[in-house]
Structure formats: C-alpha cells, structure tokens
Structure 1
C-alpha cells in the first residue's frame, strides 16, 4: 500500500527578490590637459543575502565638437571600463582615468554591480568638454 500526500500547489517556486546595488550619487570629473579623472564614493550596501558592491561599470558617450550641441538628444553610452572594488582609493572612493581628445565632447555614467553580477541604476551624466 502506498500513501502520498501533497499540498495541492502546482506552481514553480518564486525566487526571492534581490535589490540592486545603490546608485553612485557623487560622480565628479576633473580634466588636466588631455587626462580625465572620474571620482566617486563607494556606496555602503549589503543585501539581505549578504551580497555587496563588487565593482563599477563606467559608461562613455562621445560626440564631435564639430557637431552642434543637442541637449535633448538621446546619447548612446558604451561600456568604457569595468573596475573591481579592489581599485578603490584609501579614502573610500573610486576613480577611473583615461586620455581624452580636444575635438570631442564626452559624457560619463557609472553604475555599481554586485557579487552576483546584478547591476544598479546608472549615475547622473557628467559632461566633459576638454
């Protein structure tokens, strides 16, 4: 004789909602000659399952200075760099440097990503006109 019991629910398990990492709120840009340096603070964050900020993604959009400025036009951002959290500075901040050209306008955004690879929203855009 076999006896089986069941709860009667026939649905797939629901995954636990995971909150994305916070937004970088203090992105700043400094230009010296042809060198750009982006700086920002590392947000304090720990998810319910112990996930932490693992690194940052830097996004860049560039346009020729020969073209007129269009403030309302959408910009196409591409991944410029992925930085592991180990690249933070001693003051608890993070930075990214690259060479820029005087003939272009640059726009940058930064996002955090977690150990699980979940990416948070991007920061506000910082514009550079070297």
Structure 2
C-alpha cells in the first residue's frame, strides 16, 4: 500500500506492493489457466459460461489488488472477502464445465486445487488483518 506496509503473513518481510503478495501471484496464474482452458475446445463455444468464469477469475486478482491499494486494513479485508467469493464462483463454474464435458477431470482437479489454495490464503490473509 502506498505510504504504508503490511507484514503478511506475520514474521515475513513487509509488503508494500500487491504484486509482492503470493496470493495475488497465484491468482494471476489461476486467471491465465482459466483463460487457457476456456479458449479452446467446446468451452470456447459457450460464450456465456466462458465469459462468466473468465470475469470471475479476473475478479479474484483484481479485488486483491484494489483492496491492497485502498490504503486501509478494513477496505483490504473487505476486498479479500469479495475475492474469496469470486474464487468460489470459479469453482462452481468449473464443476459445471466438467459436467458439460467442456474440460476433463484432470484439468478440473488442477484448477480446483489452485482455487482452493487461493481461498485458504485469502482466509489466512484476512485473519492477519484482524478481520
């Protein structure tokens, strides 16, 4: 955050830019993964679901960044909660995509695992903020 630093998680070096947050880095990887799996095969033809899951994945990383740069612990915690909701949305849409045969179970499991890891990290980060 401009003008301030967070110790996230406690005991580690201060973080002054959202790009330094491991959870943001992982959410960017998730977003790229979602775009890759949705832009090929039958998924690419379902414009509604493809657009929704892509927007939800972008929302995860964007809300982490926006909350961090709000320069307020309370605002950051609120935006992390929004990011967590978006990660849940991605998970839900992945289950649907798998049921529809848009993605195979191996791909679904890998992306779901990443979503779950990000969700756990968001929960932990909110706790360090006292939320």
TM-score (structure 1 length as normaliser): 0.24
Which is higher, the Rg of structure 1 or of structure 2?
Answer: 1
Q: Which has the higher strand share?
A: 1
TM-score (structure 2 length as normaliser): 0.24
Q: Which has the higher helix share?
A: 2
